[in-house]
Amino acid sequence: MLIDPMDTQLPAEPVKAIERPQIVTQSLLYLDGVSVSFDGFRAINNLSLIIAPGEMRAIIGPNGAGKTTMMDIITGKTKPDTGDVIFAGEVDLTRLDETAIANLGIGCKFQKPTVFESHTVEDNVDMAVKADRTVFGTLFQRRSAEIARRVDEILGIVRLGDHRKRLAGDLSHGQKQWLEIGMLLAQDPKLLLVDEPAAGMTDVETAATADLLKDIAKTHSVVVVEHDMGFIRELGVKVTCLHEGSVLAEGSLDQVSSDERVIEVYLGR
Amino acid sequence: MMLTRFLLEKIDRTGWIFLVLLALAAVMVPVLNLAVPPGSPFHVSNTAVSLWGKYMTYALLALAVDLVWGYCGILSLGHGAFFALGGYAMGMYLMRQIGPRGVYSHPILPDFMVFLNWKELPLTWWGFSSFPYALFMVALVPGLLAFVFGWFAFRSRVTGVYLSIITQALTYALMLAFFRNDMGFGGNNGLTDFKDILGFNIQSQTTRAVLFSLSVVALMIGYLLARAIVTSKAGKILIAVRDAEARTRFLGYRVEHFKLFVWTVSAVMAGIAGALYVPQVGIINPSEFSPANSIETIVWVAVGGRGTLVGAALGAGIVNFAKSWFTGAFPQGWLFALGGLFIVVTLFLPKGILGTFTDWWKRRGETREPPAGKAVGQPAE
Ligand SMILES: Nc1ncnc2c1ncn2[C@@H]1O[C@H](COP(=O)(O)OP(=O)(O)OP(=O)(O)O)[C@@H](O)[C@H]1O
Ligand SMILES: [Mg+2]
């Protein structure tokens, strides 16, 4: 049987029969007992994680710990073999595809910056702004004053106002990262997943990115994956350390970084 | 009003030049063919009218391919199938028009059916005596096939080489099917010996000139429509899908719907091209489904400039002019020349003829005009 992604395009109805415990219904994102294997290799192993509404969380862990894979499970790119992934207390994300999950209000920035290189910076943001996303809707859509204002606003926030007419492909690596974050903002998601936003950035850019994310976190829930400990410290939020597909330690940065196992597998190298 | 605005708003300079030249051709070629006496240097010969008319339908096919390949990254190696299906739909109308004038003088059945000893018209042929019905089928059959094919392929996320291979398989399978006599489409002889279209003698020079002009007009409309699509916001999404499909999904766009839309529109365009091709060449047979035809179309688009629309149409013309000259001069050499051309273009002109030319034009403009910053202090003209 083919699995039809189109069957799953509507947000799944909350299943009335299942009474979810309070811890589920009050969390924005709830992962429990999630596992996924690639050809027998367990990339995610019985992972549990809870993000509260409005929370910003930093995820650290050695290469191959499964950070990106965890993001992929939340965004619908990878389907978990077992476990629950529940959004906003009621939506089972494992039953939805990427498009449906994006439209629920989950945005993600890929580890490798991905923008539309042959479009202008402005058009990149324009496509991300919340608006009709159907074929016939976009076919006849014109850029409304409302959308134009929103695009300006976002370009201001990510400091790309002067580059709006340039092709996204001509931007520097750091600028692409920022553009992608801007597109994420334009979607106005409830939850932002940001994979290694500071990779390849100069120290100045990294600091600016931390400020930007802190700003965003005032009004959104954010999950950030980063290797740069200075950056994590700058954020000053709860930290989760992943290792071999499950949570090794969780708490404040000081708690986590003084954990012996964390030092052994990650920090002490 | 709305429609005119939708179609005309985004035409650029290249587009206007293209449209004006086509409009001129649509008017002048028939005049120079019919009204100017054959002795005059301005006379356009009858063969030229038929040949150019054929090229116009090829150009429309190339435009259709460019729409999916150039703008949405779907490398179709099976567009010849949609072209041929449109052609067969038109051919079936033309067969029914022959009526009792066939070799066997059967009032209803086309010759090949009488020859096969069939007693009645198969269901697939019903209605084809009506021109509007045939026109409807010209669009419906390729469109529906593309829709169903695309529905399965795109939602299963078949992309890249795999998709290209199954499009190729599609046209190959259709070719084998149409070769069979019991399919009821004339087997390997196909459909031919047409007499008239809408009551006009298909051999008469006036009819041929009109068919030429209609082909040009179809190409113009096809261009306007394709241009309107690719410059709309939906067109930007198509390009986004081409460049970063996953990113587009994560932005909340339903990628398979966008692909399905442009794929179906493109197939209908190809079908219409085929329908205009058949009365001008006077025959349609299963070899039109041959995989090589679809591949040749890709070469036209690559040579002219993928993702430029005008370039695709231009490429169809240039390659086919080269082909008719070449097959005259070195009959055996054409396939090698075509292959060589493709390699040269991919290596040295990756943007094709039009893409390279526009780049050169832009660069020339930049070096000649003073930089914008310096121009500020100068008095206004
Ligand atoms: N599609 C896949 N097929 C096979 N193995 C995969 C796939 N995706 C991830 N893996 C494996 O799963 C493990 C976890 O990878 P993941 O990319 O999640 O790590 P990460 O924590 O993001 O690492 P990094 O810090 O290097 O980005 C790795 O060993 C990787 O090789
Ligand atoms: Mg990673």
Return the residue of A nearest to B255 by Cα: A99
| pTM beyond 0.90, yes or no | yes
Mean pLDDT on B214-239: 97
Cβ < 6 A, ligand 1 pocket: A 38, 43, 61, 63-69, 111
**What residue owns the CA closest to ligand 1's atom 8?**
A69
Q: Distance (Å, rounded) from C-alpha A253 to C-alpha A239?
A: 6
Kindly provide the b/e burial profile for residues B232-246, where b requires at least 16 CB atoms within 10 angstroms of the residue's own CB. Answer: bbbbbbbbbbbbbbe
Tokens of B42: 């301005």
Q: How many angstroms is it from A190 CA to the middle of ligand 2? A: 22
Atom 10 of ligand 1: nearest residue by CA position: A43
A247 and A218: one domain?
Answer: no
What ipTM was reported for this prediction? 0.89
- Joined together, the tokens standing for residue B171 give 């046209």
Q: Do residue A67 and residue A141 come from a single domain? A: no
Give the pLDDT confidence of A241-258 residue by residue, as tens digits: 999 999 999 999 999 999
Strand ranges, E, within chain B: 191-192, 196-197, 200-201, 283-284
Ligand nearest to the CA of residue A38, numbered in listed order = 1
pLDDT digits (tens, 9 = 90+) for A73-101: 999 999 999 999 999 988 999 999 999 99
Confidence check: pLDDT of B317 > 80? yes
A58 Cβ partners below 8 Å, 6+ apart?
A224, A225, A226, A232, A235, A237, A238, A239, A240, A253
Residue nearest to atom 19 of ligand 1 (CA): A64
Record: contact B234-A139, CB cut-off 8 A? yes
Identify the pLDDT of residue B95: 96
How distant is the Cα of A11 from the closest Cα of chain B, in angstroms? 13
Q: What is the mean pLDDT of residues B95-100?
A: 94
In a domain, A230, yes or no: no
Q: What would the mean pLDDT of B139-159 be, rounded to a whole number?
A: 97
Using pLDDT thresholds of 50, 70 and 90, give the confidence band for residue A2: very low
> Is-contact B195 B97, C-beta < 8 A?
yes
HSE at residue B295, side-chain half, CA atoms within 13 A, is: 11
Pairwise CA distance, residues A133 & B233, whole Å: 10
Q: Which two tokens stand for residue B217?
A: 């007009």
Q: Do residue A252 and residue A201 come from a single domain?
A: no
- pLDDT score for B253: 97
Helix (H/G/I), strand (E/B), else coil: B108:
coil
- List chain A residues with CB under 8 Å of B229: 139
* Segments forming the whole domain that contains residue A257: 17-98+237-269
Residues A126 and A188 in one domain: yes
Name the domain count of chain A: 2
Contacts of A97 in chain B (CB under 8 A): 249
Question: Per the CB < 8 Å rule, is A102 touching B251?
Answer: yes
What CATH number corresponds to the domain at position A166?
3.40.50.300
Residues A168 and A265 reside in one and the same domain: no
> Is A6 among the domain residues?
no
Q: What is the pLDDT of residue B374?
A: 36
- What band does A213 get if pLDDT is binned at 50, 70 and 90? very high
Task: Yes or no: say if B262 and B71 are a contact pair by the CB < 8 Å rule.
Answer: yes
DSSP chain A: ----GGGG-SPPPP-SSS---HHHHT-SEEEEEEEEEETTEEEEEEEEEEE-TT-EEEEE--TTSSHHHHHHHHHTSS--SEEEEEETTTEEGGGS-HHHHHHHTEEEE-SS----TTSBHHHHHHHHSSS--SHHHHHS----HHHHHHHHHHHHHTT-GGGTTSBGGGS-HHHHHHHHHHHHHHT--SEEEEE-TTTT--HHHHHHHHHHHHHHHTTSEEEEE-S-HHHHHHHT-EEEEEETTEEEEEE-HHHHHH-HHHIIIIIT-
pLDDT of B379:
37
CA angle at residue B44 from B39 to B45, to 5 degrees? 80
Cβ contact, residue pair A123, B252, below 8 Å: no
By C-alpha distance, the chain B residue nearest A72 is B250
CA B240 to chain A, closest CA, distance in angstroms equals: 6
pLDDT in tens, B183-193: 999 999 999 99
Best B156, B247, B263 member to test A by mutation, with max A CBs in 10 Å, is: B247
pLDDT confidence bin for A26, thresholds 50/70/90:
confident
pLDDT for the residue B372: 42
A21 shares its domain with A80: yes
B226: nearest CA partner in chain A: A139
CB contacts < 8 A (A, B): 82
With respect to residue A9, please indicate whether it lies within any of the assigned structural domains.
no
Residue A198 lies in a domain: yes
CA distances, A85 to each of A70, A74, B307 (Å): 10, 7, 41
CB-based neighbours (< 5 A) of ligand 2, an ion? A 67-68, 111
* Whole-Å CA distances, A218 to A124, A213, B165: 24, 9, 50
First and final C-alpha spacing in chain B: 35
Pair (A204, A247) in one structural domain: no
Which is nearest to A96 in space by CA: B85, B93, B250?
B250
A75 contact residues in B (CB cutoff 8 A): 250
Pair (A205, A151) in one structural domain: yes
Strand A106-109 versus strand A191-195 pairing type: parallel
Query: Across chain B, what does the average pLDDT equal?
Result: 93
Asked if residues A9 and A95 have their Cβ atoms less than 8 Å apart, the reply is no
Closest atom of ligand 1 relative to the A65 alpha carbon: 21
Q: Which two tokens stand for residue A102?
A: 């994006």
Question: What does the pLDDT read at residue B334?
Answer: 85
Per-residue pLDDT at A267:
76
Report CB contact under 8 Å: A119, B261. Answer: no
* Over residues A115-131, mean pLDDT: 96
CA distances (Å), origin B344, targets A22, B180, B302, B318, B320: 67, 39, 11, 15, 17
Same domain for A109 and A192, yes or no, is yes
Structure tokens at A5: 């992604």
**Domain shared by A116 and A178, yes or no:** yes
Give domain status of residue A122, yes or no: yes
User: Are A187 and A151 in a shared domain?
Assistant: yes
A156 and A256 inside one domain: no
End-to-end CA distance of chain A: 47
Query: How many angstroms does the Cα of residue B208 sit away from the middle of ligand 1?
Result: 64
B260 φ, ψ to 5°? Answer: -60, -40
Q: Is the pLDDT of residue B378 over 60?
A: no
